Amino acid sequence: MELRTVDHPLVAHKLTALRDRTTDSPTFRRLTEELVTLLAYEATRNVRVIPRTVETPLQTAVGVKLSPPRPLVVPILRAGLGMLEGMSRLMPTAEVGFVGMIRDEETLLATTYAERLPSDLTGRQCYILDPMLATGGTLGSAVQFLVKRGADHITCICLIAAPEGIARLTELLDELHVPCTLVLAGLDEKLNDVGYILPGLGDAGDRLYGVV
């Protein structure tokens, strides 16, 4: 797995504001979208393109366009939903599929409670959105899900990751033999004993949408 932690002062500035416990939900949502747009620029570096020529007012220009089949963006509900707008802004023609996953707060195991994805993902490049890579259970299950359906290129976009989650994802991906890139805004220190990232930003879903 290729790991890219985006090293940019604007990303660091926005991430710091996001971590701040006094940042309210509307600001948290806006910062998340802005951060994801910045990360998406890096995450789509290997998006497939094909040649295309256009007529400028002066002559023919040789360029490119996104290659079919359309890339698939998959936010993991609930917190990944807060990242969708920021991603769609950069790649508006991508298709969007949804996976709902919940983590059991005692076992830390992820279970799928909803899924709306194309049944055949053969040859598709997929971009998974999940703000917090903690134990790696949720993201790992989502990657397995997409690869089983035929996805052949996976990019995970997370705001923050813990080393424990990266290790687990790396182990899993070694078995799957599908190229995968993980793009982050920040790599944190560790997990606490209930699976939260330290220093982290708390519960991303709650901070985006409130406690339900």
Tokens linked to 209: 């949408």
Given 73, 134, 173, 182, the residue binding ligand URA (CB under 6 A): 134
Q: Which is nearer to ligand URA, 38 or 79 (CB)?
A: 79
Joined together, the tokens standing for residue 158 give: 């997370």
Q: Is 110 in the site for ligand URA (CB under 6 A)?
A: no
CB of 132 to ligand URA, least distance (A): 4
Q: Which residue lies nearer to ligand URA by CB, 117 or 160? A: 160
C-alpha 145/C-alpha 151 separation (Å) is 9
- Residue (30 or 149) nearer to ligand URA, CB: 30
Residues in the chain: 212
Distance CA 203, CA 108 (A): 14
Shortest Cβ 179–ligand URA spacing (Å): 26
Work out how close the CB of 198 gets to ligand URA at its nearest, in angstroms, rounded to a whole number.
Answer: 8
Residue from 71, 80, 136, 200 in contact with ligand URA (CB under 6 A):
200
132 binds ligand URA (CB under 6 A): yes
CA distance 144 to 96: 18
Computed from CA positions of residues 187, 190, 191, 197, in that sequence, does the dihedral angle turn out positive or negative?
negative
Q: Is 197 in the site for ligand URA (CB under 6 A)?
A: yes
Q: Which residue from 170, 169, 159, 160 is spatially nearest to 190, judged by alpha carbons?
A: 160
Phi-psi region of 210 (alpha: psi -120 to 50; beta: other; left: phi over 0): left
Interface residue list for ligand URA (CB under 6 A)? 79, 132, 134, 196-197, 200, 203-205
